[in-house]
Amino acid sequence: MFKKETYISRREKLKKQVGNGLILLLGNSESPMNYADNTYHYRQDSSFLYFTGVNHPDLVTVLDCESGKDVLFGDDYTIDHIVWMGQQPTIASRADKSGIKETQPLSKLQQVLDAAKSTGRTIHFLPVYRHDNKIRIFEWLGIEPAKVVENASIDLIKAVVNQRNYKSDEEIVEIEKAVNTSVDMHVAAMRMLKPGMRESDIAAEMIRIAEAENGHLSFPVIATINGQTLHNHYHGNIVKDEQVFLLDCGAETEMGYAGDLSSTLPVGPKFTSIQKEIFNIALASHEAAIDMLKPGVAFKDVYYQSARTILEGMKGMGFVKGNIEDALVNGAHAMFFPCGLGHMMGLDVHDMEDLGEVYAGWDGVPKSTQFGLKSLRLGRKLEPGFVITIEPGIYFVPDLIDLWKTNNINTEYLNFDMLDKFRNFGGMRNEEDFLITPDGKRLLGKQKPKTIEQVEAERAYAFK
Ligand code: GLY
Q: How many angstroms separate the CA atoms of 159 and 355, rounded?
A: 11
Q: Which residues pair with 102 in a beta bridge?
A: 71
- Band (pLDDT 50/70/90 cuts) for residue 72 is very high
pLDDT given for residue 410 in this prediction: 97
pLDDT at 85: 85
Pocket test for ligand 1, best of 350, 357, 378, 390 (most atoms within 8 A of CB): 350
Question: Among 30, 72, 73, 52, which Cα is nearest to 160's?
Answer: 52
For residue 406, pLDDT over 90 is answered with yes
The DSSP string of 245-259 is EEEEE-EE-TT--B-
Cα of 260 vs centre of ligand 1, distance in Å, is 7
What is the pLDDT, as a whole number, of residue 173?
98
> Distance, CA 391 to ligand 1 centroid (Å)?
8
* Confidence tier at 60 by pLDDT (50, 70, 90): very high
233 and 248 Cβ atoms separated by less than 8 Å? no
**Residue 376 Cα, ligand 1 centroid: separation in angstroms?**
12
- For residue 175, which amino acid is it? I
What's the confidence (pLDDT) of residue 234? 93
Instruction: Supply the pLDDT for residue 323.
Output: 97
State the distance from the centre of ligand 1 to the C-alpha of 379, rounded, in angstroms: 16
Residue 333 has pLDDT above 90, yes or no: yes
Please list every protein residue whose CB sits less than 6 Å from any atom of ligand 1.
219, 248, 260, 262, 343, 391, 431
Ligand 1 nearest-atom number relative to CA 431: 1
Say what the pLDDT of residue 231 is: 86
What is the CA(405)–ligand 1 centre distance, in A? Answer: 28
**Ligand 1 center–CA 299 separation, angstroms:** 17
Q: How confident is the model at residue 110 (pLDDT cuts 50, 70, 90)?
A: very high
- By most ligand atoms within 8 Å of CB, the mutation choice from 179, 186, 348, 391 for ligand 1 is 391
All residues at 6 or more sequence positions from 67 whose CB lies less than 8 Å from its CB, including other chains: none
- Tens-place pLDDT, residues 187-242: 999 999 999 999 999 999 999 999 999 999 999 999 999 999 988 889 999 999 99
Mean pLDDT of 297-320: 98
Domains of the chain (ranges; CATH) run 4-164 (3.40.350.10), 169-463 (3.90.230.10)
Virtual CA dihedral for 436, 439, 445, 450, nearest 10 degrees?
Answer: 90
Atom of ligand 1 nearest to the CA of 262: 1
170-174, 261-265, 372-376: segment of lowest average pLDDT: 372-376
Q: Average pLDDT for residues 406-430, to the nearest whole number? A: 97
φ and ψ of 134, to 5 deg: -65, -40
Contact between 278 and 264 (Cβ < 8 Å): no
For the chain, the average pLDDT equals: 97
- Can you tell me the mean pLDDT for 347-356? 97
Do the strands 123-125 and 22-26 form a parallel or antiparallel pair, or are they unpaired?
parallel
pLDDT band at 71 (very low <50, low <70, confident <90, very high): very high
pLDDT at res. 84: 87
